Amino acid sequence: MNKPNSDSEMNIEGWKTINWRQAERYVFKLQKRIYAASRRGDFKQCRKLQKTLMRSWSNRLLAVRRVTQDNQGKKTAGVDGTKSLPPKARLELAGQLNLTGKSKPTRRVWIPKPGREEKRPLGIPTMYDRALQAVVKATLEPEWEAVFESNSYGFRPGRSCHDAIKKIKLCIQQKAKYVLDADIAKCFDRINHEALLQKLNIKGKARQQIKSWLKSGVIDKGAFTATSEGTPQGGVISPLLANIALHGLENHLIKYAETLPGRKRDNRENLGFIRYADDFVVLHKDKAVVQRCREIISEWLAGLGLELKPEKTRLTHTLNHKLSEDGKAGFDFLGHHIRQYPAGKYRSNINTQGTILGFNTLITPSAKASKVHQEEIGRIITKHRSSPQVALIKDLNPVI
C-alpha cells in the first residue's frame, strides 16, 4: 500500500476506505523477512528491510490505528492535550510521522499498585510520539524475537503468563526443587541508557529517536524533570526496550550451569529460569547452586544499573517448609501460588517411568490475587446498587 500523492487525495480516500487486510499482510510479510534475516545473522539485509518497513505507509497507518483506536489509553492525553482523534486527524497524523530525533516530554501520572499504598509512576507520551513508537516497535520487534531467550514470557507476541506457569510446572513436577523467587527493584525506572543503546546496536536516525525518547524528561504537576536513566512506563516501545535490556541473563546462568560437575546437557536442563518482564524464578535441586545464581544475577544486573529488591527476593523450597528461608513452602508468581504437598502412594503423582514421587504439585490462585479479584467484584456491585440487573451483569461478566 503506497502513500497517496497529495493531501487532497489522502482526504478523498478517507480513513474508513483503507484496506486494513492488505496493510496488515504487507507489514507482516516484511516482519517475517526481518525475522528470518535476524535468525541467520544477516544484519545488512535485516537493516535494509527495517528501513523499508520504517518508511512504509501501511506501517504508519497501523501504528496510528493502534494508538488512536485499539489501545486502552486512546482517551489519555500527553503534554500537548491531544486525544480521541477523528478519522481525518488520524490520516494527517500518519502523514506527519517521521524520525526527527526529537520528542516531547512525557506526562507523569501516578497509579496505585494493587493491594498497596505505594504508587507506580506512568509516563504518558504525546499521541504523535506514541504513534511513532509503534512504527519503530513494529520494525525492531521481529529482529529481537528471533534472538530472545526461550524462557522469557513478558510482553511478547504469542506468549502469556500461563505459558510461564506451565513452564514452571514442567520444571518441578518430576522433582521437588529450591526456588529463588526474585524481583528487580524499579526495573523500568533505573535501566542504564548507554548500556541499553549499546545492546540495541543500531545507528542513524532510529538510534537518535530512541535516545530522545529515553532522555525526553517528564512533566509532573507543571514541573519538568530530566530523565538520565530508565524507560518511561506507559510508552508503546517501553516493554520491548525492557526485554532487550534484560536479554542475556538466562544464557549467562546457563553458562554457569554448564561448569557444574556432570554432563553439560543434564546441567542445562536441571537449572530452570523463567522470566516475565522484571519478575523471575530460578529453580534447581541444589540449594548451593540457587544461592550462587543469586550472586551471579546481582553482578549481571549491576552492569545495567539495576539491583534485586530484598523484600521481594526469597529462597524457598517447593515441598519442604523446613528447607525454606522463611519457613514457608511454595511461592507466588504472576498471581498463582505454586506448591507441592506430600502424598501417599495411592494419591501421589508418578513420573514418566511410573515411579511414585511421594508428592503432588498444585497451582492455585494466590491469596493476594483472590483478594484483589473479590474487592473488584465488590466495587462493581456497590457501583450498581441502583442500576438495572442487565447493567450489573454486563460489568461483572468480563471480571469474572
Residues 270-279: what's their mean pLDDT?
Answer: 88
**Locus of grid cell 441502583:** 386
Interval 76-104: pLDDT, tens: 777 777 777 888 888 888 888 888 888 88
Label residues 197-212 b or e (16+ Cβ within 10 Å = b).
eebbebeeebeebbbb
Residues 167, 334, 280, CA angle at the centre, nearest 5°? 65
pLDDT-derived band at 34, boundaries 50, 70, 90:
very high
274, pLDDT greater than 60: yes
Residues 211-231: what's their mean pLDDT?
Answer: 79
**Which segment of 110-114, 184-188, 198-202 scores lowest on mean pLDDT?**
110-114
Share of the chain above pLDDT 70, in %: 96
Selection from 131, 306, 101, 128 nearest residue 213 by Cα: 101
pLDDT of residue 3: 55
Residues 220, 226, 227, CA angle at the centre, nearest 5°? 100
pLDDT of residue 5: 45
Selection from 309, 306, 310, 256 nearest residue 286 by Cα: 256
Residue 391, all three cell numbers: 447493567
Share of the chain above pLDDT 90, in %: 24
227, pLDDT greater than 80: no
Provide the mean pLDDT of the chain.
85
pLDDT of residue 9: 39
pLDDT of residue 387: 86
CA 237 to chain centre: 10
pLDDT of residue 6: 38
pLDDT of residue 7: 38
Interval 62-75: pLDDT, tens: 999 988 888 777 77
pLDDT-derived band at 127, boundaries 50, 70, 90:
confident
pLDDT-derived band at 117, boundaries 50, 70, 90:
low
